[in-house]
Structure 1
Amino acid sequence: MERVLLVYTTFADAETALEIGESLVRDRLAACVNVLPGMRSVYAWKGAVERGAEVVAIIKSRDSLRQPLVAALKARHPYETPILLHLPVAEADPDTLAWILSETGA
């Protein structure tokens, strides 16, 4: 059976994350996108240590949509190099899995 895929990414603001998240759900590349505001980040970028406010987005999808989901995120994401971490799920509640599969794909 197909596996659930979670994708972790960040955005500069909640509105952008919600707009891109909604487009992914409408395109059936994701069943849900959770947007968690209020994150503070410290990161290395082009030789400097930076600080900034960001929001986290956790995208719930299916493993077979990994490539089209990543392509859509890269095309829509405002960051030059967006963080895209693929988090395979070892197991999911059967009802949760059924819902994700029914809301994504063809």
Structure 2
Amino acid sequence: MDALLIVMTTFPDEASAEAATDGMLAARLAACVQQLPTVRSSYRWEGKRETSEEVPLLIKTMAARYSALEQFIKDHHPYDVPEIVAWPASAALPAYARWVEAETRGELHV
């Protein structure tokens, strides 16, 4: 079985987060996308401190889909440099991992 990944990204508002979620699921790039409550992010951008409200998404996918998922997020994201971080699930309920694999298998619909 391919490695199960958890990918995190943020969007500037609920509408763009929801549109991205719909696209990821329709394209079979993700089996599940969890939209978390809005967070306040503080960071340095172009030499100055910024603060913004963002909507985090936790995306469950397989390693084989990561490159296509990353490209999808970059193509559909309003930020020049969106946050896209992924880590492997070190353990998962086997039935859940099989479900994620089944949901992201097959032809991409990007």
- What is the rounded CA distance, in whole Å, between the counterparts of 1:37 and 1:19 in structure 2? 16
Tell me the matched-pair count: 106
Cα root mean square deviation, aligned: 0.9
The aligned counterpart of 2:67 is: 67
Q: Which runs of 5 or more residues in structure 2 are unaligned?
A: none
Shift of 1:37: 2.4
- What is the rounded CA distance, in whole Å, between the counterparts of 2:19 and 2:77 in structure 1? 10
Instruction: Report the TM-score, using the length of structure 1 for normalisation.
Output: 0.95
| 1:14/1:37 contact within 8 Å kept | no
Deviations 1:45-100 (A, max 9, x none): 00000111111011110011111111111111111100100111111101110110
- What is the rounded CA distance, in whole Å, between the counterparts of 1:54 and 1:37 in structure 2? 9
Q: Which runs of 5 or more residues in structure 1 are unaligned?
A: none
What fraction of aligned residue pairs are identical, expressed as a percent? 36
Which aligned runs of 4 or more in structure 1 are off by greater than 2 angstroms?
A: none
- What is the rounded CA distance, in whole Å, between the counterparts of 1:35 and 1:13 in structure 2? 11
Instruction: Report the TM-score, using the length of structure 2 for normalisation.
Output: 0.92
Question: Do residues 58 (structure 1) and 37 (structure 2) align?
Answer: no
Question: Do residues 25 (structure 1) and 25 (structure 2) align?
Answer: yes
